[in-house]
Amino acid sequence: MRILVIEDERRIALSLKKGLELEHYVVDISYNGVEGFDLASTEEYDLIILDRMLPHMDGMAVCRELRKKDIPTPILMLTAKGQTKDKIEGLDAGADDYVAKPFSFEELLARIRALFRRPKETAATILSVGDLRLDTKNFVVTRKQIPISLSSKEYALLEYFMRHQGQILSKEQIISHVWDYDADILPNTIEVYIKNLRSKIDDPFVGNAPLIHTVRGFGYKLATI
């Protein structure tokens, strides 16, 4: 899952990036509102963490303009102020949630997990497809209750697939949600990652239907059939 952090305080932006990358998220940073708005409107993100006080274009304006352009990406707003009025203004501008600085990183993570939950999902942090399970809180993946060890990128790729189960995902979509803006990644590299993931998720489970499917000419999907 790819996150854009728009925050002018470098120390905070960089520590967010570092912390979120440890949680297997892919993170791009923008240090001002104008550039952040451009990135958010041209790149595909799964979440935007938006500081309220920014040079050039403040967080409130970024939020309003993105919604005006019908960009539905969930927005989590950060602010130094914890006043009810600011909270209401942020939500009215189109933000989905709001965290006041200083915040605890654990709380921020919990709010991010909540925003990634689809509406019908409950508080569960476990994603499943058939007998494959992914625990987004403890980063544990199992199939038929057997633990599967994945690299950070394989985990990120699988999480993206599991959150879009049954959907055909193109290589371009996969690249833009699983790698950051600076990554120089070619479509062929995706084939290598898929092959590795199959060797862990499907190949060892002989006699069970494979979960990763190639849809020739379109991409890949994760599904029980």
Q: Which residues bind Ca ion (CB under 5 A)?
A: 8, 51, 53
CB 102 → Ca ion: shortest distance, Å?
Answer: 13
CB 7 → Ca ion: shortest distance, Å?
Answer: 6
Indicate the helix (H) or strand (E) that contains 141. Answer: strand 140-143
CB 181 within 8 Å of CB 28:
yes
What is the rounded distance in angstroms from the CA atom of residue 174 to the CA atom of residue 131? 23
- Choice between 53 and 140, CB closer to Ca ion: 53
Instruction: Please give the structure tokens belonging to residue 145.
Output: 């209750």
- Choice between 53 and 114, CB closer to Ca ion: 53
What is the rounded distance in angstroms from the CA atom of residue 200 to the CA atom of residue 204? 6
Closest residue to Ca ion in the complex (CB): 53
- Report the candidate in 6, 86, 91 with the shortest Cα–Cα distance to residue 41: 6
Instruction: Please give the structure tokens belonging to residue 62.
Output: 């970024």
**3-state DSSP assignment of residue 20:** helix
CB 49 → Ca ion: shortest distance, Å?
Answer: 12
- Choice between 76 and 212, CB closer to Ca ion: 76
CB 29 → Ca ion: shortest distance, Å?
Answer: 13
CA angle 224, 194, 201 (to 5 degrees): 50
CB 8 → Ca ion: shortest distance, Å?
Answer: 5
- Choice between 31 and 139, CB closer to Ca ion: 31
- Choice between 20 and 190, CB closer to Ca ion: 20
Placement of tokens 């006080």 in the chain: 53
Residues in the chain: 225
